[in-house]
Amino acid sequence: MATDYYAVLGVRRDASQDEIKKAFRRLARELHPDVNPDPKTQERFKEINAAYEVLSDPQKKQVYDLGGDPLSSAAGGGQGGFGAGFGNFSDIMDAFFGTASQRGPRSRTRRGQDAMIRLDIELDEAAFGTTKEIQVDTAIVCTTCSGEGAAPGTSAQTCDMCRGRGEVSQVTRSFLGQVMTSRPCPQCQGFGTVVPTPCPECAGDGRVRSRRTLTVKIPAGVDNGTRIQLAGEGEVGPGGGPAGDLYVEIHEAPHAAFQRRGDDLHCTVTIPMTAASLGTKVPLETLDGLEEIDIRPGTQSGQSIPLHGRGITHLRGGGRGQLIIHVEVTTPGKLDPEQEELMRRLAKLRGEERPLGEFKPGQQGLFSRLKDAFNGR
Ligand SMILES: [Zn+2]
Ligand SMILES: [Zn+2]
């Protein structure tokens, strides 16, 4: 039986191209090997790629909708013409007439739901990656009944109302003659079996809630909202069905000194006018430890000093962003008589007693701040 590409992408069969594209992008972000190197996840990543290849291509989609698998026919070289890519005749009949739809008793075992947990991390943990222990509360398989739902020593019995078929039929007369209709068996809810003595631990559900501690590897470069997928760590399904996935959503705590924009970090240092003019060194605790920031003589307010490779590690590999230090120069006010005398002397020596100023259109400060906002994320 061909893979259900719609289910792989989690879209309805009548989904639009736009919905298909959105679903694919969302999954691709979550399951990308860089975010999630886990082999099971990579397997799913391949699946969604295959599903998208088929469903995004109108021709392949049509073949698939008619019951064929366009990917397997491409691998076989393709015979061309009508019939290429079709599995067998009964597949096509199933596609047209829905004879493949569910018949007989439904399984008590179903896949569990995905779960999501929020994880708060610090900026340096996002920059370099980390390993975290998290507590998760999910459904796990009931150990008392091993997920069967029956009390120890008992077992599920074939339903006597439907004789295990899961549905009951009724014959009614109409003007067309006798019509037979089927509906799910009311005694076993369509399961075909009944559990006379449910497990006391899980009340017959086959699963119980439990708190576990998981170790999660957080790759370097994650950002607010990044989701890390842990395959099979979500809720166990009813009847001991396979577990859904667990998504760990990253929330990055604000840092006291640095603001993150993409993989760059920004901070502002305020220095007095004298230091800006003469040059100085200021200590800064970067993510990599204490560093001396060299303020060159004659540094202007608004100037920025980039430190390459001191930002966040790029999630997709290949180095780190920069740490950009924006310099703000403070003008000394409230001068005592001696300082004022010195200032006046300095102004005279520099010929700046009556500066004409330099006029430009607009507000420089405001413009540069706006530019920063646009250049940021
Ligand atoms: Zn149980
Ligand atoms: Zn029944």
Backbone angles phi, psi at 128, to 5 degrees: -110, -10
Q: Residues 152, 145: contact at Cβ < 8 Å?
A: yes
Please, which residues bridge with residue 172 across strands? 179
E strands present in the chain: 115-121, 130-141, 157-158, 167-174, 177-184, 193-194, 207-218, 227-230, 246-252, 259-261, 264-272, 280-286, 289-295, 304-307, 323-330
d(CA 117, CA 250): 9
d(CA 270, CA 284): 12
- Could you tell me which of 191, 192, 188, 201 has the C-alpha nearest to residue 151? 201
- Neighbouring CB atoms inside 10 A of 289's CB total 7
Q: Which residues contact 115 (CB under 8 A, 6 or more apart)?
A: 136, 138, 233, 234, 235, 244, 245, 246, 247
d(CA 85, CA 59): 11
Residue 340: both structure tokens together: 């004022």
Q: Residues 286, 323: contact at Cβ < 8 Å?
A: yes
pTM over 0.85? The answer is no
The alpha-carbon radius of gyration of the chain (Å, integer) is: 34
Q: Residues 228, 245: contact at Cβ < 8 Å?
A: no
Q: Which residues of the chain have pLDDT under 50?
A: 1, 73-101, 377
Closest ligand relative to 168 C-alpha: 2
Closest ligand relative to 144 C-alpha: 1
| Alpha-carbon distances of 249 from 70, 119, 212, 219, rounded to whole Å | 36, 6, 18, 13
Q: Is the domain defined by 5-97 classed in CATH 1.10.287.110?
A: yes
CATH class assigned to 259-349: mainly beta
d(CA 281, CA 211): 52
Closest ligand relative to 142 C-alpha: 1
Q: What's the gap in Å between 233 CA and the centre of ligand 1?
A: 20
Q: What's the gap in Å between 103 CA and the centre of ligand 2?
A: 14
Residue 75: both structure tokens together: 């691998």
Residues 8-49: tens digit of each pLDDT: 998 988 888 888 988 888 888 888 777 777 788 888 888 888
Residues that constitute the known binding site: 142, 145, 159, 162, 185, 188, 199, 202
**Residue 238, burial from CB neighbour count under 10 angstroms (0-12, 13-18, 19+):** buried
- Neighbouring CB atoms inside 10 A of 276's CB total 22
Q: What's the gap in Å between 164 CA and the centre of ligand 1?
A: 22
Q: What's the gap in Å between 324 CA and the centre of ligand 2?
A: 70
Residues that constitute the known binding site for Zn(2+): 142, 145, 159, 162, 185, 188, 199, 202
- Neighbouring CB atoms inside 10 A of 162's CB total 23
Please, which residues bridge with residue 285 across strands? 290
Backbone angles phi, psi at 39, to 5 degrees: -60, -40
Residues 106-133: tens digit of each pLDDT: 888 889 999 999 999 999 999 999 999 9
Q: What's the gap in Å between 155 CA and the centre of ligand 1?
A: 12
Q: Residues 257, 267: contact at Cβ < 8 Å?
A: yes
Q: What's the gap in Å between 7 CA and the centre of ligand 1?
A: 30
| Chain Cα centroid distance, residue 253 | 18
What percent of the chain is modeled with pLDDT above 90? 55
Closest ligand relative to 158 C-alpha: 2
Strands 193-194 and 157-158 come out as: antiparallel
Would 115-156+195-252 and 259-349 be classified into the same CATH topology?
Answer: yes
∠ CA 313-317-320, nearest 5°, is: 30
CATH class assigned to 115-156+195-252: mainly beta
- Could you tell me which of 196, 207, 187 has the C-alpha nearest to residue 146? 207
Task: Supply the pLDDT for residue 2.
Answer: 58
Closest ligand relative to 194 C-alpha: 2
d(CA 208, CA 153): 19
Residue 276: both structure tokens together: 């800006």
Residue 238: both structure tokens together: 């009813």
Domain positions in the chain are 5-97, 115-156+195-252, 259-349
Q: What's the gap in Å between 188 CA and the centre of ligand 2?
A: 4
